[in-house]
Amino acid sequence: MAKDYFKVFDFIFVGAGISGPFIANDLCKGGANCLMLEAGNHYTRRTYPTNGLDGTSQMYWAGGLELGHDAKIAFLRPKVVGGGSIMNQALVDRFDDVALDDWKSVSGIKDFSMADMATWYDKAESEIEIQEIPAKFRNKNAEIFDQGFKNLNFDNAPLRRAQNDCRLEEGNCCIECLNGCRLGSKQSTPETVLKTALENGLTLASQVEVTQIIAKNGDIRVIGRDAMGGQVSYRAHNLVLGGGAIGNARLLLNSGFGKKLPHIGQGFFCHPQFMSFGIYDEKINSHLGAFQAFKSDDKGFRQEGFKLENVYAGPEGIALLVPDFGRIHHEYMEKLSHFACIEVCTRDTNPGQIKVNRKGKALIRKEQNKEDINRYEKGAKVIDDIFKSTGAKEIVHGRFGIGLHLMGCCAIGTDPATSVIDPEFRLHGHGNIFAADSSIFPNAPGINPSLTIMALSKKAAAGILRSR
């Protein structure tokens, strides 16, 4: 897109992940003139990288994993048009009373109730297709998960995935979709709301990283860097922040907003996830067919602050997690087709923090406290029992935690001293800067976040349209 110093847009969006396209779609339909700036590349289903290594290095910030200060959790932060909706496992869950009641009390916002949110979940779900994996397509890894739950008398439930046709009857192995779905089945934003936003007049500029926001006299100026390293600058009456937890915090801090809003960067959560592997005599071939079908649905687990998921990853991811080096590591990897995998995802209680260094780079501080470690250990114990009860010969626990659900740092709330975004989704003190993405989460819900990001974004868009 040509550099345009003179045109004034109604709205500029930072980030084309999940939230940005959901809001832009509704605003464009309402007649707004919108520009969306995304730091990552714009792939299509024909151009996604074809292997895990290329996918990771080309579609994540820092070329893949980013580490916190103590290197105990590795964070994966998507950088691509479509953001997390391209890379994620597409599991879509509504929050429960536990999550919403906590949000109500920590934010002071009464609207966080099942009744109010149901309206917005309905609207979000009307934009995507959601399916469960039919029983006949569950693979051996899923069967082990289900059998283990039955053996131990725990409750599980089928996963709800945002997908429309994974062509499983043709023998498709859908683990591929973690690097972008080449079938167009995964309901990523480029396949859904971003597509319609573009049809409704949205201007999208990829490979433009926004580096600074200047908000003056009711106007917004956005400064960024394009793919060639050149400076670009755009103007608008309003700004929508959709850069995710770390992206928004970094940009706001680098733009000086932290002086008036001291909570920017605080309250970082990530649902640390730990994969464990059961190694069986027979081949499990967890990578074949539908790679995920079940989740835990056990009230006891929810009270204890963890959930389990039937999951798998590409060989490059598993190689990182399997312990040891050299010959021993090689021997594990040779047995890859005999691995079953279950993940424990913890509802973290210890808030982390994002700061920026003098060069403007994001620094992540995120520790697991005693309670968080306790939650992980309880989940890992159940996984041990599941694998043992289904005949695993060896059990291997992944070497470190992974942070995929990056949340918070610009918490929503009524009080500007302890929050960043007000109940109308505006930056406190700035009537024309909005956010409804993962950065506004006031704490970790312990439930997959993306459907709630979509629902909050629909709600924010409706509020913006009402006030125009």
250 three-class SS? helix
Which residues face 402 on adjacent strands?
A: 74, 273
Kindly write out the interface string for residues 236-275 of this chain, putting x where it contacts ligand FAD by CB under 6 A and - elsewhere.
------xxx--x---x------------------------
* Size of the residue set binding ligand FAD (CB under 6 A): 37
Region binding ligand FAD by CB under 6 A among candidate stretches 31-39, 299-307, 367-375, 382-390: 31-39
Among 24, 424, 29, 455, which residue's Cα sits nearest to residue 236?
24
Question: Cα-Cα-Cα-Cα dihedral of 265, 270, 272, 273, to 10°?
Answer: -150
CB of 438 to ligand FAD, least distance (A): 3
Q: Which is closer to ligand FAD, CB of 87 or CB of 308?
A: 87
**Cα separation values, 390 from 149, 267, 343, 385, Å:** 10, 40, 16, 9
Phi-psi region of 245 (alpha: psi -120 to 50; beta: other; left: phi over 0): alpha
Q: Which is closer to ligand FAD, CB of 127 or CB of 437?
A: 437
Q: Which is closer to ligand FAD, CB of 117 or CB of 392?
A: 117
Q: Which is closer to ligand FAD, CB of 79 or CB of 366?
A: 79
Give the pair of three-digit tokens for residue 154. Answer: 């725990």
Phi-psi region of 324 (alpha: psi -120 to 50; beta: other; left: phi over 0): left
Name which position in 37, 133, 264, 380 contacts ligand FAD (CB under 6 A): 37
CB of 261 to ligand FAD, least distance (A): 18
Region binding ligand FAD by CB under 6 A among candidate stretches 10-18, 226-234, 354-362, 458-466: 10-18
- Told to check if 202 binds ligand FAD by CB under 6 A, we report no
Phi, psi of 275 (to 5 degrees): -95, 140
CB of 35 to ligand FAD, least distance (A): 12
Kindly write out the interface string for residues 210-239 of this chain, putting x where it contacts ligand FAD by CB under 6 A and - elsewhere.
x-----------------------------
- Told to check if 390 binds ligand FAD by CB under 6 A, we report no
- Told to check if 90 binds ligand FAD by CB under 6 A, we report yes
Kindly write out the interface string for residues 160-199 of this chain, putting x where it contacts ligand FAD by CB under 6 A and - elsewhere.
----------------------------------------
Q: Are 432 and 425 within 8 A, CB to CB?
A: no
- Told to check if 38 binds ligand FAD by CB under 6 A, we report yes
Kindly write out the interface string for residues 418-437 of this chain, putting x where it contacts ligand FAD by CB under 6 A and - elsewhere.
-------------------x
Phi-psi region of 195 (alpha: psi -120 to 50; beta: other; left: phi over 0): alpha
- Told to check if 76 binds ligand FAD by CB under 6 A, we report yes
Give the pair of three-digit tokens for residue 420. Answer: 């960043």
Q: Which residue is it, tokens 């536990």?
A: 98
Region binding ligand FAD by CB under 6 A among candidate stretches 99-107, 117-125, 335-343, 445-453: 445-453
Region binding ligand FAD by CB under 6 A among candidate stretches 71-79, 129-137, 140-148, 373-381: 71-79
Q: Could you tell me whether strands 339-346 and 306-310 are parallel, antiparallel, or unpaired per DSSP bridges?
A: antiparallel
Region binding ligand FAD by CB under 6 A among candidate stretches 25-33, 42-50, 85-93, 334-342: 85-93
CB of 286 to ligand FAD, least distance (A): 16
Rounded CA Rg of the chain? 22
Q: Are 17 and 82 within 8 A, CB to CB?
A: yes
Name which position in 9, 17, 99, 461 contacts ligand FAD (CB under 6 A): 17
Cα–Cα distance measured from residue 177 to residue 166, given in angstroms and rounded to the nearest whole number:
10
Q: Which is closer to ligand FAD, CB of 37 or CB of 396?
A: 37
State the Cα angle at 405 between 77 and 106, rounded to 5°.
130
Full DSSP string of 352-404:
EEEEE-TT--EEEE----HHHHHHHHHHHHHHHHHHHHTT-SEEEE-SSEEE-
Cα–Cα distance measured from residue 415 to residue 421, given in angstroms and rounded to the nearest whole number:
9
CB of 138 to ligand FAD, least distance (A): 17
Region binding ligand FAD by CB under 6 A among candidate stretches 44-52, 79-87, 164-172, 255-263: 79-87
Give the pair of three-digit tokens for residue 228. Answer: 């060639």
Count of alpha carbons within 13 Å of 272, Cβ hemisphere only? Answer: 31
Identify residue 93 by its one-letter amino acid code: D
Q: Which is closer to ligand FAD, CB of 190 or CB of 244?
A: 244
Q: Are 342 and 307 within 8 A, CB to CB?
A: no
Cα–Cα distance measured from residue 429 to residue 419, given in angstroms and rounded to the nearest whole number:
12
Name which position in 11, 19, 48, 154 contacts ligand FAD (CB under 6 A): 19
CB of 282 to ligand FAD, least distance (A): 28
Phi, psi of 12 (to 5 degrees): -110, 135
CB of 74 to ligand FAD, least distance (A): 11
Q: Which is closer to ligand FAD, CB of 382 or CB of 404?
A: 404
Interacting residues with ligand FAD (CB under 6 A): 14-19, 37-40, 76, 78-80, 83-85, 87-91, 209-210, 242-244, 247, 251, 404-405, 437-438, 448-450, 453
